[in-house]
Structure 1
């Protein structure tokens, strides 16, 4: 598949960096919340939060033989999660006061959209096929949550909740790759793919859509 030069060389737009921060924080907070529900100590809370935020990206980087790992290249996020783990009780109080369940769903959807398209784009840069790129996008977006649930001794949400999640990532990644194929500007392709995933996820939650059992 031909990959436009802009995809190989162009920087990500500022809005995607902002979405990236929101996504990492949303996934990390979900890890902290689940860890505290299981009454884990500070170390356990950090492990769960870290795995939730970076598990998918790390698996993607291993499969693509990409170095440094995402979290190594963004050390500030690791330190922030470390601080959040020590202040887990405070974090939970703040989250309960300023972020409703709906706000957390929106933040999670943003993370899903962002990590899906960036994972797919990195796979294209590594000259993977479109199908592999889509799978890398899905892995980047959902694997952290799978690891979180396993560490908390729960059936992974992606397996027990029939609400579209990975499906949104799948469709959005193909939208992004299709736009890349016709050489749409990098920023526009990334944003369109991410926004499509976010919109599909939010609409599916709003109207209670379920996948066939």
Structure 2
């Protein structure tokens, strides 16, 4: 398995987890949990594939991704119901930050493989990183987190994508570039949220 494929699977799992948490906060049943997890995990990558004109969509090609989310939704429903009292905004922020970093770098890497110019590739990374969370919040009747908390979110993704592009430009090994850039985005998001850095 390639590193980019491993990152994609990890990103899907983290995205689904944040969807599980938000669905349980809204007291949804197992169908709702699966739906929210599905759109959180696959929303950004789906929009990326549509914009890059890549068919079939990545989760259609790899049906095991959708099956994994389905099975996890069945398993997680009772577990998350039990843990509902300890689920906090902090946990959602951490899960969301990890998903942001992983999805963003997967997105920019796949856009480069599709032959996109570097600026377009960076935008594809941002779209992949943030759109699943936007869909999750909209379906859960919330103003999307990227628009409401006033802290750097898309900016962290954009900066991390350019970090990856620059590391590739100077010849740093791809595996190191992928992990470093993804973690930089996640850490930047968590730190700016924790310290209350705001865009004003």
Q: How high is the TM-score relative to the length of structure 2? A: 0.86
In structure 1, the gaps of 5 or more residues are 1-9
Deviations 1:156-212 (A, max 9, x none): 111111121111001000111111122322112212211221221121122121111
Give the conservation status (yes or no) of the 8 Å contact 2:160–2:184: yes
Q: Secondary structure at the match of 1:162?
A: coil
**Counterpart in the other structure of 1:170:** 158
**Counterpart in the other structure of 1:56:** 44
Partner residue of 2:193 out of 179, 183, 205: 205
Deviates more, 1:78-87 or 1:135-144: 78-87
In structure 2, the gaps of 5 or more residues are none
**Counterpart in the other structure of 1:11:** 2
Partner residue of 1:83 out of 61, 71, 79: 71
Give the conservation status (yes or no) of the 8 Å contact 1:180–1:189: yes
Give the conservation status (yes or no) of the 8 Å contact 1:28–1:52: yes
- Judged with a 3 Å threshold, the aligned counterparts in structure 2 of structure 1 residues 99 and 32 are, in CA distance, closer, same or farther, namely closer
- Judged with a 3 Å threshold, the aligned counterparts in structure 2 of structure 1 residues 186 and 109 are, in CA distance, closer, same or farther, namely same
1:143 shift after superposition = 0.2
1:98 shift after superposition = 8.6
Give the conservation status (yes or no) of the 8 Å contact 1:84–1:91: no
Q: Within the alignment, does 1:67 sit opposite 2:67 as a pair?
A: no
- Judged with a 3 Å threshold, the aligned counterparts in structure 2 of structure 1 residues 133 and 207 are, in CA distance, closer, same or farther, namely same
Deviations 1:29-74 (A, max 9, x none): 2222333343444333322210011000011011112234222243
Q: How does 1:27-46 map to 2 (within 5 A)?
A: 27-46=15-34
1:88 shift after superposition = 4.8
1:142 shift after superposition = 0.7
Q: How high is the TM-score relative to the length of structure 1? A: 0.81
Provide the C-alpha distance between the structure 2 equivalents of 1:143 and 1:97, rounded to a whole number of angstroms: 28
1:89 shift after superposition = 3.4
Provide the C-alpha distance between the structure 1 equivalents of 2:126 and 2:142, rounded to a whole number of angstroms: 21
1:87 shift after superposition = 4.3
Partner residue of 1:185 out of 160, 173, 196: 173
Provide the C-alpha distance between the structure 1 equivalents of 2:21 and 2:101, rounded to a whole number of angstroms: 22
Provide the C-alpha distance between the structure 1 equivalents of 2:91 and 2:26, rounded to a whole number of angstroms: 23
Provide the C-alpha distance between the structure 1 equivalents of 2:154 and 2:199, rounded to a whole number of angstroms: 11
1:110 shift after superposition = 2.2
